[in-house]
């Protein structure tokens, strides 16, 4: 949905003028390009790995993927902002509590309007 339409929709919801339907989309992208960046093959593989492995920390995920913790955290935070992942704080053993990634959805349906 174009940004101007998304803003109008959001304002209408906030004013109580529009009540979202149960089957309305939950996640919105500005463009196909941003969708492709978020759900790239690499990121889909990461989501699948998280589901299968159920890591207890980003560090544990770092050792399996070969990606740096900073890189993983940046990707996971972006995916969390779209609602695909939740980063929960684990038990603190020494210092900072580990972040535990959890995948929210098992899949996604894409709807594209041309006009």
pLDDT tens profile 61-106: 998 999 999 999 999 999 999 889 999 988 877 777 889 999 998 8
Stated pTM of the model: 0.76
> pLDDT digit string (tens) for 45-63?
999 999 999 999 999 999 8
**So what CATH class is 37-108?**
mainly alpha
Checking if the pLDDT of 1 tops 70, the result is: no
Task: Give yes or no for a contact between 80 and 87, defined as CB atoms under 8 angstroms apart.
Answer: yes
Q: Please provide the distance, in angstroms rounded to a whole number, between the alpha carbons at the two ends of the chain.
A: 10
Cα–Cα distance for residue pair 113/19, rounded to 1 Å: 21
> Which stretches does DSSP call E strand in the chain?
85-89, 99-103
Q: How confident is the model at residue 44 (pLDDT cuts 50, 70, 90)?
A: very high
Task: Give yes or no for a contact between 50 and 104, defined as CB atoms under 8 angstroms apart.
Answer: no
Cα–Cα distance for residue pair 50/76, rounded to 1 Å: 11
């Amino acid at each position: 949905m174009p940004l101007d339409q998304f803003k109008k929709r959001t304002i209408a919801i906030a004013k109580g003028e529009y009540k979202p339907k149960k089957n309305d989309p939950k996640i919105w992208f500005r463009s196909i390009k941003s969708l492709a960046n978020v759900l790239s093959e690499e990121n889909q593989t990461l989501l699948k790995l998280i589901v299968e492995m159920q890591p207890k920390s980003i560090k544990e995920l770092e050792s399996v993927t070969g990606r740096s913790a900073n890189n993983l955290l940046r990707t996971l935070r972006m995916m969390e902002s779209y609602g695909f992942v939740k980063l929960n704080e684990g038990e603190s053993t020494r210092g900072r509590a580990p972040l535990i990634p959890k995948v929210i959805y098992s899949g996604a349906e894409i709807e594209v309007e041309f006009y």
